[in-house]
Amino acid sequence: MNFDTILNRRDSDCLKYGVLQERWGRTDLLPLWVADMDFATPDFILQTLRQRFDHPVLGYTSQHPDWRPSIIEWQKKHHDYQVQPNELIFIPGIVRGIAFALQTFTAPGDKVMVFAPVYHPFFLVTEHNGREVVRHPLVLTEENRYELDFNLLREQLKSVKVLVLSNPHNPGGRVWSAEELRQIAHLCHESGTLVISDEIHADLTFHPYHHTPFATVSKEAREGSITFGSPSKAFNCPGIISSYSIIHNDLIRRKFRAYLSASELNEGNMFAQLTTVSAYRLGEEWLGEVKAYIADNIRFVEQYLSENIPQIKPMHPEASYLIYLNCRALELTHEALLDLFIDKAHLALDDGQKFGPEGTGFMRLNVATPRSILEQALHQLKNALSSM
């Protein structure tokens, strides 16, 4: 596939362009914010859906017979993760799944932990459901990389019912090591804290890093967690809600399934199931190609900034197509940083404060886009800085 092709997304009810006026106050911005790709969804997925539309009846449907096997075999082959068929439950989106889990396993006022800065729906869905957010501030090292403070974590977890973990981490791009995950699992076991591991970016992990499913690191992790997954990020199909949960603990699984079943929230639609099967059965070669292109884009951004805007230090993503830009050396106020990117450089990126106050001075850049668009964006940023 030619990932250099520029596709017009403006007339497709595309969120990336459709909310520019509402969120940034202007429409003349180059948007590199929301976490989807500017590349065409793989043709094998589109073809699968077209073939289904060849049948003239879109009636009630039973579960696709290959939905569970395709997930199980993908997880085993790519992540050495053994999953049993009965441990899989469809969910209509991962953020919704987090909300359902909080409704199932916590009560209003209970404490829910996130590792901050973090993907903002983690704390928004917690607050909107009447739970209290506890932020564990990630440690920013001199190497511009996030790490955990396990001594602080042990103390904080004592009153926490649920930990919502981004594995790999968004926005920092950290691939948590097996040992880090093992320590998290042990501390959560000691405190009786349930772990929800969002692993939506797992398939976008770059060599030499290796994604470790949380549930695989120990018995404590396996028995005390819920894993959420989806092909939507890796195969650029988030508009089709095709997510699932993996729960090994029988009691936790029965409680979660009962909550979902009560409102028929665990009934996947035909297109979600077809998309999942198509991605996991046919997508290995395409995924390798798109990851190689994204990795080249990451290298391009890092080199360009080093040579032209050394004050901005990109946090190297070990997974995902999102680069967290450390702009603190610019020594700008939050308002001045936004003015630089929005009104001077004419770029729409995710502001670091969106991910919590710990993200002050950062901007998140989506590089899953044709190289020429990245070049344009970085030139606009360079010129904007030069004019200041």
The pLDDT tens digits of the residues spanning 146-180 come to 999 999 999 999 999 999 999 999 999 999 999 99
Short-list 64, 6, 70, CA closest to 40: 6
Instruction: Report pLDDT for 352.
Output: 97
Banded model confidence at residue 11, pLDDT cuts 50, 70, 90 = confident
- Mean pLDDT for 297-313 is 98
Instruction: Report pLDDT for 357.
Output: 96
Res 268 pLDDT > 90 = no
Instruction: Report pLDDT for 38.
Output: 97
Res 16 pLDDT > 90 = yes
35: left (phi over 0), alpha (psi -120 to 50) or beta: beta
- Mean pLDDT for 284-307 is 98
The secondary structure of the chain, three-state, reads CCCCCCCCCCCCCCHHHHCHHHHHCCCCCEECCCCCCCCCCCHHHHHHHHHHHCCCCCCCCCCCCCHHHHHHHHHHHHHCCCCCHHHEEEECCHHHHHHHHHHHHCCCCCEEEEEECCCCHHHHHHHHCCCEEEEEECEECCCCCEECCHHHHHHHHCCCCEEEEECCCCCCCCCCCHHHHHHHHHHHHHHCCEEEEECCCHHHECCCCCCCCHHHCCHHHHHCEEEEECCCCCCCCCCCCCEEEECCCHHHHHHHHHHHHHCCCCCCCHHHHHHHHHHHHHCHHHHHHHHHHHHHHHHHHHHHHHHHCCCCEEECCCECCEEEEECHHHCCCHHHHHHHHHHHCCEECEEHHHHCHHHCCEEEEECCCCHHHHHHHHHHHHHHHHCC
Instruction: Report pLDDT for 1.
Output: 80
Instruction: Report pLDDT for 187.
Output: 98
Res 291 pLDDT > 90 = yes
Task: Please provide the average confidence, as pLDDT, over all residues in the chain.
Answer: 97
- Mean pLDDT for 19-44 is 96
What CATH number does domain 15-42+285-386 carry, 3.30.70.3150, 3.90.1150.10, 1.10.357.10, 3.40.50.720? 3.90.1150.10
Residue 361, φ and ψ in degrees, nearest 5: 90, 5
CATH of domain 58-282: 3.40.640.10
Residue 204, φ and ψ in degrees, nearest 5: -105, 30
Res 244 pLDDT > 90 = yes
Instruction: Report pLDDT for 196.
Output: 98
Instruction: Report pLDDT for 173.
Output: 98
Instruction: Report pLDDT for 388.
Output: 84
* 307-333 per-position pLDDT tens digit: 999 999 999 999 999 999 999 999 999
- Mean pLDDT for 44-70 is 95
pTM here is 0.97
Res 269 pLDDT > 90 = no
Q: Where in the chain is the domain with CATH 3.40.640.10?
A: 58-282
Of 241 and 178, the structure prediction assigns the larger pLDDT to 178
Q: Where in the chain is the domain with CATH 3.90.1150.10?
A: 15-42+285-386
- Mean pLDDT for 83-90 is 98
Residue 164, φ and ψ in degrees, nearest 5: -100, 110
- Mean pLDDT for 256-279 is 95
Banded model confidence at residue 29, pLDDT cuts 50, 70, 90 = very high
Give the rounded percent of residues in the chain with a pLDDT score beyond 70: 100
